[in-house]
A and B are shown apart, each in its own frame.
Chain A
Amino acid sequence: MSNTAVKPRIEKIPLKEKLFQKLPVFLVPVLALTGLAAIGNPSSWLTLTVAGLAMGMMIFIMASGLTVVFGLMDVINFGHGAFVAVGAFVGFTVLAWLAGWTASPSVMLNLAAVLIAILAAMLITGLLGLAFERVIVMPVYGEHLKQILVTMGGLIVAQQMIYVVWGPDELHISRPQALQGSFVIGEAAIEKYRLVAVAIGLALFLAMRHILKKTKIGLLVRAGVENGEMVEALGYRIRRLFLIVFMTGSALAGLGGVMWGLYQETITAHMGSEIMVLVFIVVIIGGLGSVEGCFIGAMLVGLLANYTAFLAPKVALISTIALMVVILMWRPQGLYPVVKAK
């Protein structure tokens, strides 16, 4: 029997094509080096690069959920920003309760407080995601126009509910002792919190890659992106998979919200819709549905935003739009197109 088994034939891709596929990866170092050339001063370049990477990581955390949800379910959630804002508000509330812990000089207590805040925020936004999926998104699967409208409506209601629960004023909170201040390397000052953000973002990216590439559920998600009907025909409940992914995506938005909130130290109910602009740009640059593309896109946007903020502050946001235009002219579907244009 074993003699007759047909070996799967794996097509060999020529090296040139492989390199071409990997080309987007090199964009980040190229941009960083261009930044170095434009700024000229290595120490301010280092500060800006770390700041850019930190910002990129935080955007990645928020955008990754959105892009996976889109890839799997063909749903773009314009209300994603609401999860970011709710996450930030929940996180801040918890941190305010744990004010004793955050003010104490003990690093462990500080980190524990932040961890609890993050977990609480992710729990609440995950549950909110559950409600959002069941009530708002479920009736409109497959209808893009209605999805956009309804999730936008969800965003309005969620933002107003933030006003109802937390009041109309913005919240301020300072970072825990351990995350304040910065390291000085040579002449470059690097904020500690930014390093933490980079570490968390990187860990999340690696974890997501691992889950998507190596585990059963990741396999199902990837199969679902490719052909949802087939997965269903093989006996998997794709609706439940949708729900899990949606909740994870929402929880990640909550995580991103807490981290962004701690970065800015001030949060408003509108922070979600403000950040969503960057998140959308990143998702478009990366290619809708692609986690890798989203990661590279986030790095590019973070670095570019910080470099231009230093070199020409007035055009910072325009520069990210310009980046999007350039990338789309090169690859109209984004860096790593996953979902075919329907």
Chain B
Amino acid sequence: MLTRLLSGDTPRSGLLTALLLIVLISLAFAPFLFPGTRSLETAARICIFIVLVASYDLLLGYAGIVSFAHTMFFGIGAYGTALALSTTGPGYGSLIWGTAAGAVVAAVFALAIGLFSLRVKAIFFAMVTLAVASAFAVFVSQMSWLTGGEDGLNYKIPRELTPAFKLIDEKILGVRINGKLLAYYLVFFVSAILFLVMLRIVNSPFGRTLKAVRDNAFRAEAIGYRVVWYRTTATILSAVMAALAGSLLAIWLRYTGPATTLSMEIMIDILLMVVIGGMGTLYGAVLGATLFILAQTYLQTLMGVAADASSAVPLFSTLVAPERWLLWLGVLFILSVYFFPSGIVGRLRAGRA
């Protein structure tokens, strides 16, 4: 049953299984284990980013395509939901059609970009997506009458998902059972389902062909697989998943703006998460996203301590200043591309063998 749920792709390493279970349990019971708004925000962010990073891994790790337009699809999903909620009011109907519209638009965009540039080289695709995504980000921030520009959109979501709504009056384990909690569990379960769907995709014959195309496109073509078709389909699937993750973020934050969805920083974050976690395995996305977001939220505090402690050493203290955490992750990123391209997960699996 469990193996079926995981599509036969078990973690295959004791330590990895343990880590994944810790992440799963922590996320599943986050509101009870780690009370407080900040930790709930972090937990929801981790859920959403696991989906986003896994969908990127579908493209980068399984299909071997580098895209810099992933945040564009993420943003399309978020803006789809946001626009539907802000124009037609906070109902479940508008929530659903907004999400669906976002996913469809993302799929169409992905199809266009894919057909257009996947025929040539991987490097070409990377450059085209970078240009298109940046142009899209600028475009969105300039269409202020529709998207709210740089300020983004604030909107209401269905009342059952807001803190104002109370399911039961009593507290359970010291936690108030309110709409925020429901929203968290909505995010959690949808993320879990999407993750399992992606696990199903990569372990299907389609996923296997994708890996073949990644490893030797020429040979795959010779055997009779239409390489362009497989690559384009992978791009579309990953775009749709990213759009759905964007919709989750839009529901959770009740705000959508360029900085939270479209910025290049987020794109780089995703790239770091995939590579550090491990390319070509979706469990890598789980670990990568979790570690990265924890680092983003809590490493800065730690580095602040280090900077204070070393304030006597002039250059060193600026290097460990809390704002410079990305520097260290960048170094870690380069090192992981060289020395363990299969990331944490690859390391753990190799350790067992």
Contacts and interface: CB of A to CB of B under 8 A. Distances in A.
A280 B139 contact: no
B338 A76 contact: no
Contacts of A321: 131-132, 135
Interface residues of B, number: 42
B143 interface: yes
A149 B135 CA distance: 21
A318 B331 CA distance: 34
Interface stretch (B117-125, B165-173, B200-208): B117-125
B124 A288 contact: yes
B53 to A, nearest CB: 15
Interface stretch (A99-107, A150-158, A171-179, A254-262): A150-158
Given A136-B334, A149-B271, A314-B143, A144 B123 contact: yes
| Residue among B123, B143, B329, B333 with the highest chain A CB neighbour number at 10 A | B123
Given A76-B127, A148-B126, A156-B330, A318 B135 contact: yes
Contact of A317 (B120, B138, B264): B138
Contacts of A161: 327
Given A144-B123, A150-B337, A284-B124, A276 B130 contact: yes
A265 to B, nearest CB: 21
A154 B135 contact: no
Contact of B131 (A154, A156, A160, A324): A324
A144 B330 contact: no
Interface residues on A, range: 35 or more
Specify the main secondary structure of chain B where it touches its partner. helix
Contacts of A136: 334
Contact of B268 (A76, A152, A168, A281): A152
B324 interface: yes
A164 B334 contact: no
B120 A145 contact: no
Interface in B201-247: none
A341 B120 contact: yes
Contact of B334 (A144, A154, A281): A154
Contacts of B120: 332-333, 341
Interface string B131-153: 11011001100110000000000
19 contacts: A144-B123, A145-B66, A149-B66, A154-B334, A156-B326, A156-B330, A160-B326, A160-B330, A164-B324, A164-B327, A273-B264, A280-B127, A284-B127, A284-B128, A314-B143, A317-B134, A321-B131, A332-B119, A342-B121
